[in-house]
């Protein structure tokens, strides 16, 4: 099974070793897989250099260096585009910084292999959980509830960044111009893919920071009401 993992990284020097150790264990267990470490010039620590050291020591890790990436959405899409160009059948994204547990990757891969086009990690179904600052829990819970109300979606978790797709789906959304530049990206993508065969799998998420930039919140509100308006007018896009 030819699959790829996309991980954008910025200022992750302290947690990078733990991440690489966990992902390497999954690669060994599955016997295949390629990891795309997406870095740019935004890091003020040794993250890019350490990623290159990892890639030199293990060919299953590739560094995707893209100067001038302006936001995390662009970083994800840069990684997806490189993986898509390299012909992978399945592509998964996850956060760095110990927010997501690499040991849950086989669960996502299993459902992709079974024919699901989209597999979404969920903190809000039985078996899922979220730890960290209560404010982040409130934002995630509230954001998911608003998405279900305004966008008519039926997913329990609309804001998780642990998700995977088959090649055909990735090709479709790589052609789309996303409104989001931050946290709304996952909600926007799940809304656009609402008609695709999908499944939610339980994950644990650890919120490593208590704050979310005001700019990201405003971008999320703008995107949410933009698609709500299109839905009301019967013009909501789907991929």
What is the C-alpha to C-alpha distance for residues 219 and 117, in angstroms, rounded to an integer?
A: 27
Is 181 in contact with 73 (CB distance < 8 Å)? yes
Q: Enumerate long-range contacts of 144-147, CB under 8 Å, 24 or more apart.
A: 144/187, 146/224, 147/187, 147/190, 147/191, 147/224
Is 224 in contact with 142 (CB distance < 8 Å)? no
**What is the arithmetic mean of pLDDT over 154-166?**
94
The string of pLDDT tens digits covering residues 39-81 is 987 888 999 999 999 999 999 999 999 887 878 899 999 999 9
End-to-end CA distance of the chain: 25
Average pLDDT of the chain is 92
The answer, yes or no, to whether residue 117 has pLDDT greater than 60, is yes
Per mean pLDDT, which range of 13-17, 64-68, 174-178 is the poorest?
64-68
Class for domain 3-232, per CATH? alpha beta
The residue among 213 and 112 whose pLDDT is bigger is 112
Report pLDDT for 211.
66
The string of pLDDT tens digits covering residues 123-142 is 999 999 998 778 788 888 98
Helix 105-113 / helix 16-30 crossing angle, nearest 10 deg: 40
pTM of the model: 0.93
In this structure, what token pair is assigned to residue 31?
């016997």
Report pLDDT for 40.
85
The answer, yes or no, to whether residue 210 has pLDDT greater than 70, is no
The string of pLDDT tens digits covering residues 76-108 is 999 999 999 999 999 999 998 788 999 999 999
């Amino acid at each position: 099974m030819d699959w790829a993992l996309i991980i954008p990284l910025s200022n992750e020097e302290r947690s990078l070793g733990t991440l690489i150790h966990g992902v390497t264990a999954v690669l060994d267990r599955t016997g295949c897989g390629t990891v795309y470490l997406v870095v740019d010039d935004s890091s003020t620590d040794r993250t890019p250099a350490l990623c290159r050291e990892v890639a030199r020591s293990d060919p299953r890790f590739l560094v995707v260096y893209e100067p001038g990436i302006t936001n995390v959405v662009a970083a994800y899409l840069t990684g997806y585009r490189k993986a898509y160009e390299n012909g992978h059948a399945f592509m998964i994204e996850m956060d760095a910084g110990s927010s997501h547990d690499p040991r849950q990757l086989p669960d996502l891969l299993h459902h992709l292999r079974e024919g699901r086009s989209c597999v979404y990690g969920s903190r809000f179904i039985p078996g899922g959980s979220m730890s960290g600052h209560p404010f982040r829990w409130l934002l995630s819970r509230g954001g998911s509830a608003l998405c279900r109300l305004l966008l008519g979606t039926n997913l329990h978790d609309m804001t998780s960044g642990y998700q995977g797709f088959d090649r055909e789906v990735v090709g479709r959304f790589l052609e789309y111009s996303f409104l989001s530049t931050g946290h709304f990206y996952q909600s926007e993508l799940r809304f656009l893919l609402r008609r695709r065969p999908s499944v939610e799998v339980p994950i644990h998420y650890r919120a490593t920071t208590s704050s979310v930039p005001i700019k990201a919140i405003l971008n999320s509100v703008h995107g949410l009401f933009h698609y709500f308006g299109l839905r009301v007018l019967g013009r909501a896009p789907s991929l």
